[in-house]
Amino acid sequence: MAEHISKQFDLELETIRTRVLQMGGLVEAQIVGAIDGLMSSDIAKLDKVIAEDALVNAMEVSLDEECQHIIARRQPAASDLRMVITVIKTITDLERIGDEAQKVARMGKTILLADRVHMPRFREIQKMAEVALAMLRRALDAFARLDVAGALDVARQDRKLDEEFDANFRQLVTFMMEDPRAISMSIDTIFMCKAIERIGDHAKNISEYVVYLVKGKDIRHTALEDVERIEL
C-alpha cells in the first residue's frame, strides 16, 4: 500500500514536471511566432501568438492548483517539496514570458498595420530574441535534467543580452538625434527590445530556481563570480 502510494506520488511529480516543460514549449513557440510574424509581416502569425496567451494563463492556473493539491495530499518533505515550490515559481515566470511575447506580437501588429515610412529595426529585435530563446531553452533543459552547470550558463547569457540591449539602445538614440522622423520607430524598437530583455530576466529567474532546487542553496542575489567560485 505504501509502495503503491509512493509510486502514485512519483507519477504525480513526474506529471507536473512534464506539464511545466509543455508550458515552456508553448511560450517558446509564442516567442518564435512573434519574431517570425514581424520578419515576414504575417499578421495571422501575430494574432495566433496573441490568442495563445489565454491557453498559457489557463495552464498556469491549472498547474498551480495541482501543485497545491499535491502538497496538501502527499505532504512532501525536503527535496520533493522544493521541487513542487520550484514548479510553482517557474510557471509564474513562464506565464510572464508569455505576456512579453504577446506584447511584442501586439506592438508588431500595430506597427505593420500602420504601414509606416520608417519601420522598426526588426533585425535587432530578432538577434536579441535568438539569445533570449536560447536562454529559455537552456533554463528548461536545466530544469528537466537538474543540471546546475546549464543553469549557470543562463546567468552568463543574461549579461550578453543586457549588453545587446544597451548597444541597440545607443544606436537608436543616435538615429533619433540624426532624424526626428525616426523617433517613433526608434521608440517602438526600444520597447520591443525591452520586452525581449525581460524574457531573458525571467529565464534567468528559472535557472536560479534550478540551482536552489539541486544545491539547496539560494544563489538568487549572489554575484555570478561568487557562484562560479562555489562551483569549482
Site for a second copy, rule CB under 8 A: 54, 57-58, 60-61, 64-65, 68, 71-72, 75-78, 81-82, 85, 88-89, 92, 173, 176-177, 180, 183-184, 187, 190, 194, 218, 220-221
Give the nearer residue to a second copy in terms of CB position, either 85 or 144: 85
Q: How many CB atoms are located within 10 Å of the residue 102 CB? A: 22
To a second copy, the closest distance from the beta carbon of 221 in angstroms equals 4
To a second copy, the closest distance from the beta carbon of 198 in angstroms equals 9
Give the nearer residue to a second copy in terms of CB position, either 65 or 231: 65
Give the nearer residue to a second copy in terms of CB position, either 41 or 73: 73
CA dihedral sign of residues 42, 48, 50, 56: negative
Give the residue among 218, 182, 206 at the shortest CA–CA distance from 89: 206
- Integer Cα distance of 232 and 104 in angstroms: 39
Give the nearer residue to a second copy in terms of CB position, either 218 or 231: 218
To a second copy, the closest distance from the beta carbon of 228 in angstroms equals 19
- Integer Cα distance of 124 and 132 in angstroms: 13
To a second copy, the closest distance from the beta carbon of 180 in angstroms equals 5
To a second copy, the closest distance from the beta carbon of 45 in angstroms equals 23
Give the residue among 92, 91, 69 at the shortest CA–CA distance from 13: 69
Residues, the chain: 232
Could you tell me if 219 and 208 are in contact, meaning their C-beta atoms sit under 8 angstroms apart? yes
Give the nearer residue to a second copy in terms of CB position, either 143 or 165: 165
